A and B are shown apart, each in its own frame.
Chain A
Amino acid sequence: MSLPLAATHPRLSVHLFFPIIVIVLTTCSSAFGQSDTQLDTTVVDDTVSIAAAPVTTLLVEDGKYDDGDSLRLFWVPSIDDQLIDSKVTGYRVYRLVNDGAAEPIVDLLPGVGNYTDKNVELDSSYVYYVATLTESGEYPSIHTESISPQREWINFRRGYLFIIMMIISAAIIFYVETAKRGKKLFVRKIAGLEAIDEAVGRATEMGRPVLFIPGISDMDDVQTLAALTILGRVSRTIADYDSKIFMPVSRSLVMTAARETIKTSYQAAGRPDAYNDDMVNYVTDEQFGYVAAVDGLMVREKPATVFLLGAFFAESLILAETGNSIGAIQIAGTARPAQLPFFIAACDFTLIGEELFAASAYLSGEPRMLGSLKGQDVGKAIAMITILLGVVAVTLSEAWGVGIMTDLHAWLVKVFSSS
């Protein structure tokens, strides 16, 4: 009988001797003339023990560094929430949106003292309370203040990530500017690239075409961009040698960009008349439809040289095996680890992972690309030094308990966990 009364006075912090308080409140309510006839007629039996006290210190705060899409609740669990012989069976979080009706949003296990509501909207206000659940009923807490979620524009948790990115970016800009001033930047030789001229020359001697496959991803994949950069160099050599190239693609945007690239190369070689839009043709977006067409093309045209550069998926081995079966020299490259083994097994030269990107910079000689490559090397140097330092620190810390190494390891964890 007393439980509904507690709900009508949510701001009371009630723990023990609940029935007595109920009686007092009932009396007070009557004295101040509140028109609740139910209260006036309530008869409280103080021999009935109250099942559980509500949670206390209920707080709500805006989710930090988010898009205004979360609110976090904290509370101290009921004092009756015990490990042994607990009266509490759980907690139920209620929410009032824009001063509307209370609605339960989640049930939680006993012992839980926080909850993050991720189903909130920027322009709404929210009030919460938490009910302690027992077998005999619910015991609500006080209500929180009304709160609206806020959007933060900067995520300061990623501060270290930002600093590292700035260091690498600064290195890239430095090397780009250095290259622009004419200083030669050293990039080590990459085996597959040395073979490009030889492979195109072989196609010329044999009177057969060169087949260039730029993967099956669109222009939003950096591997496709790298492939098209290499295409620029390959098509320039083809134009110089007066050889032939054909390039079936599976994306319309790639077709457009590839035509631009080859056209520019032919113009640079002084042979714009030899360029033809039919060198690049769209087949289909469908992965295995594209593969069926390219395989057919390979066995019919018998290209002397096949370039497989870009983003490849399950079609990699099918294409590489068909190229191998017609005796073509194959130069492949992708940054997809799962496909690299097939290229290594079936092709003559393979650009592994980042070598594909390095190759495009190496071949183009563009200051921006070379500077970018050198700047990324700075990032790798940071990673290598950090790994060495971190491994030494954590080993000395864990094996011999060297204090300074524990601090160093903790700092590295803090920096590199900020992503």
Chain B
Amino acid sequence: MEHFALWLSAFLTLGILSFLYKDNPWYKLSEAIFVGISAGFWVVTLFWDNLVGKFWDGWQDEPMLFVGAALGFLMLLRLVPKIGWISRWPLAFIVGATSGLWLMNYLASNIMVQVMATIQPLFSTGYASGFDAGWGAIISSLVIVVGTFTGLVYFFFSKEHKGAFGGAARVGIFFIMITFGASFGYTVMSRMSLLIGRMDFLLGDWLGMIG
């Protein structure tokens, strides 16, 4: 059985990779199996984890679960065309509750903490007595302050990007693009590890060509 599972995994892995050449029946088969099994897996997981694991096993101790169950039931009213509009209520509840819950967290992390982290001296202590601040520290401070400030200017939508404001926005987008470039390289390298993992499976576990 284990041997069969190994060969099936290899067959499906190569089937998905065959898409690199072009769309073909092997890929379609692998895709259909992947989608079908994963959709089924999620249905079973959500049923046992949420309906049974959380609601059925827990409603005696936590009556509030009935609120969630009721909202979930309202979603199903979409199946009844005449009262299908009621299914918007749970959607509205989710959107509203999420907005309220995250408002303070986003405000704290996206504004307060970042502003605090940006406020740093352009010159370090001792400048007045002999400029002993290292150039590295000065440049680092400048990059953080100018990059953050001009980045904010770029994302300011109430003013046209013209004149000095437009110039600052242009500097801001330069900073953003440089950041994206670094992020691109970093993420590509991390994705390579996924490819290495699959190659390790094919050449090692399956074919036994590597240790």
A residues lining the B interface (CB < 8 Å): 158, 161, 164-165, 168, 186-188, 190, 219-222, 225, 253, 256-257, 260, 282-286, 288-290, 292-293, 295-296, 299-300, 314, 317, 337-338, 340-342, 344-345, 352-355, 358, 373-374, 377, 379-384, 386-388, 390-391, 393-395, 397-401, 409, 412-413, 416-419
Q: Are B180 and A340 in contact (CB under 8 A)?
A: yes
Please count how many residues in chain B sit with their CB below 8 Å of the partner chain's CB atoms: 68
Produce 1/0 per residue, B159-195, CB < 8 A to A: 1110000000000000011011101100100010010
Q: Are A391 and B118 in contact (CB under 8 A)?
A: yes
Q: Are A292 and B107 in contact (CB under 8 A)?
A: no
Stretch from B2-10, B30-38, B48-56 that touches the partner: B30-38
CA distance A373 to B155 in the complex (A): 11
Across the interface, name the chain A residue whose C-beta is closest to B123: A399
Known: A391-B145, A412-B119. A383 touches B128 (CB 8 A): no
Q: What's the nearest-Cβ distance from chain B to residue A178, in Å?
A: 12
Across the interface, name the chain A residue whose C-beta is closest to B42: A285
Q: Are A381 and B156 in contact (CB under 8 A)?
A: yes
CA distance A75 to B184 in the complex (A): 53
Q: Are B88 and A260 in contact (CB under 8 A)?
A: yes
CA distance A256 to B78 in the complex (A): 9
Q: What's the nearest-Cβ distance from chain A to residue B151, in Å?
A: 9
Q: Which chain B residues border A338 with CB–CB below 8 Å?
A: 183, 187
Interface pairs (15), CB distance under 8 Å: A165-B103, A165-B107, A220-B98, A253-B91, A289-B38, A299-B22, A314-B194, A338-B187, A341-B184, A383-B114, A384-B156, A394-B120, A399-B125, A416-B113, A419-B113
Q: Which chain A residues border B184 with CB–CB below 8 Å?
A: 341-342, 345
Q: What's the nearest-Cβ distance from chain A to residue B171, in Å?
A: 14
Produce 1/0 per residue, B25-49, CB < 8 A to A: 0011011001101110110000000
CA distance A71 to B31 in the complex (A): 56
Produce 1/0 per residue, B90-107, CB < 8 A to A: 010011001100111001
How many pairs of residues, A versus B, come closer than 8 Å at their CB atoms?
Answer: 187
Q: What's the nearest-Cβ distance from chain B to residue A315, in Å?
A: 11
Q: Are A288 and B34 in contact (CB under 8 A)?
A: yes
B residues lining the A interface (CB < 8 Å): 16, 19, 22-23, 27-28, 30-31, 34-35, 37-39, 41-42, 75, 78, 87-88, 91, 94-95, 98-99, 102-104, 107-109, 111-116, 118-125, 127-128, 145, 148-149, 152-153, 155-161, 176-177, 179-181, 183-184, 187, 191, 194
Which of A299, A352, A383, A417 touches B23 (beta carbons < 8 Å)? A299
Q: What's the nearest-Cβ distance from chain B to residue A226, in Å?
A: 12
Q: Do most interface residues of chain B lie in helix, strand or loop, or is the interface mixed? A: helix
Known: A286-B41, A355-B155. A419 touches B108 (CB 8 A): yes
CA distance A124 to B177 in the complex (A): 56
What 3 A-B pairs are tightest by C-beta distance, nearest first?
Answer: A286-B38, A390-B119, A419-B108
Q: Which chain A residues border B155 with CB–CB below 8 Å?
A: 353-355, 380
Which of B23, B108, B128 touches A400 (beta carbons < 8 Å)? B128
Which of A165, A260, A341, A342 touches B104 (beta carbons < 8 Å)? A165
Q: Which chain B residues border A383 with CB–CB below 8 Å?
A: 111, 114-115, 152
Q: Are B23 and A296 in contact (CB under 8 A)?
A: yes
Q: Are A401 and B128 in contact (CB under 8 A)?
A: yes
Q: What's the nearest-Cβ distance from chain B to residue A341, in Å?
A: 4
Q: What's the nearest-Cβ distance from chain B to residue A14, in Å?
A: 48
Q: Are A314 and B191 in contact (CB under 8 A)?
A: yes
CA distance A317 to B194 in the complex (A): 14
Q: Do most interface residues of chain A lie in helix, strand or loop, or is the interface mixed? A: helix
CA distance A390 to B115 in the complex (A): 9
Known: A341-B180, A380-B152. A399 touches B78 (CB 8 A): no
Q: Are A409 and B119 in contact (CB under 8 A)?
A: yes
CA distance A344 to B182 in the complex (A): 13
CA distance A383 to B148 in the complex (A): 10
Q: Which chain B residues border A352 with CB–CB below 8 Å?
A: 176
Q: What's the nearest-Cβ distance from chain A to residue B121, in Å?
A: 4
Across the interface, name the chain A residue whose C-beta is closest to B90: A253
Across the interface, name the chain B residue whose C-beta is closest to A287: B38
Q: Are B112 and A418 in contact (CB under 8 A)?
A: yes
Q: Which chain B residues border A417 with CB–CB below 8 Å?
A: 112, 116
Q: Are A377 and B128 in contact (CB under 8 A)?
A: no
Which of A222, A355, A382, A395 touches B123 (beta carbons < 8 Å)? A395
Q: Which chain A residues border B41 with CB–CB below 8 Å?
A: 286
Q: What's the nearest-Cβ distance from chain B to residue A385, in Å?
A: 10
Q: Which chain B residues border A391 with CB–CB below 8 Å?
A: 118-122, 145
Q: Are A387 and B121 in contact (CB under 8 A)?
A: no
Q: Are A384 and B152 in contact (CB under 8 A)?
A: yes
CA distance A383 to B120 in the complex (A): 14
Q: Are A292 and B91 in contact (CB under 8 A)?
A: no
Which of A286, A393, A409 touches B39 (beta carbons < 8 Å)? A286
Which of B22, B35, B149 touches A387 (beta carbons < 8 Å)? B149
CA distance A53 to B71 in the complex (A): 62
Q: Which chain B residues border A401 with CB–CB below 8 Å?
A: 128
Q: Are A293 and B31 in contact (CB under 8 A)?
A: yes
Q: What's the nearest-Cβ distance from chain B to residue A294, in Å?
A: 10
Q: Are B122 and A395 in contact (CB under 8 A)?
A: yes
